[in-house]
Amino acid sequence: MTVLNHLLKFFCLMFLFTIEVVGRANERKARQVDSSSWEDIDWDDIGEKLPLGRNKADRERRKEMFKNFDVNGNGQMAMAEIDKGIRDVLELDQIFDSKSVILRAFQDSKASNAGGNDEYIGKKEFRVFLTKLRQYFEYYVAFNRVDVNQDNRISYTEFVDAVEKMEEWVGNIDDVDAEFKKVNWNSSSVILFEEFVDWAIVKDLNLEDDDD
């Protein structure tokens, strides 16, 4: 095969790869802009794909799942392996597209083991990671149901408009202004997902349509 043929083959592969990447990006963008997509979550499917129990069956499933996530087989997983595993092993597209959820779950699961590695999670942290992935995705769904314009931040107006809805998740909110300030700990004009997570943990937020 000539050099020219090699180059043509290379550019064809790169073209196909670019089409796939752009296509995935457009799909993610479409899902993010359509706020109604956050109203219809298949919690049963998520529950079936995340073995969180301490029983023998779930332990065996996690053990096998860890092997499939851990591509290089070194017993530790970096963020890239986690990301790929959620897409290819769990096949949970909505969670795969929720990068803030994955990152927060990854960071918090590392912190759960004082003797662990600062850059990776191992078998000891894997159940914690899956548990937090499920928990934080629930919070992310709640966040997006409040974030009506889907700009990845909750304005004061959006917060006020969603008070009745949020009370179904966290109980009574007597003083809306005070609650907004409580959530918005960095004192900006909007609430970011990280802030919302901290608030949701304290409030023990529970969506009305999930199954946990």
What would the pLDDT profile of 85-102 be if each residue is shown by its tens digit?
999 999 999 999 999 999
pLDDT surpassing 60 at residue 149? yes
The pTM (predicted TM-score) of the whole model is 0.81
pLDDT surpassing 90 at residue 116? no
> CA 187, CA 165: separation in Å to the nearest integer?
23
Nearest to 141 by CA among 212, 78, 190, 85: 212
Nearest to 141 by CA among 90, 207, 186: 207
Nearest to 132 by CA among 52, 191, 41, 68: 52
Mean pLDDT of all residues in 24-38: 55
pLDDT at residue number 119: 86
pLDDT surpassing 80 at residue 76? yes
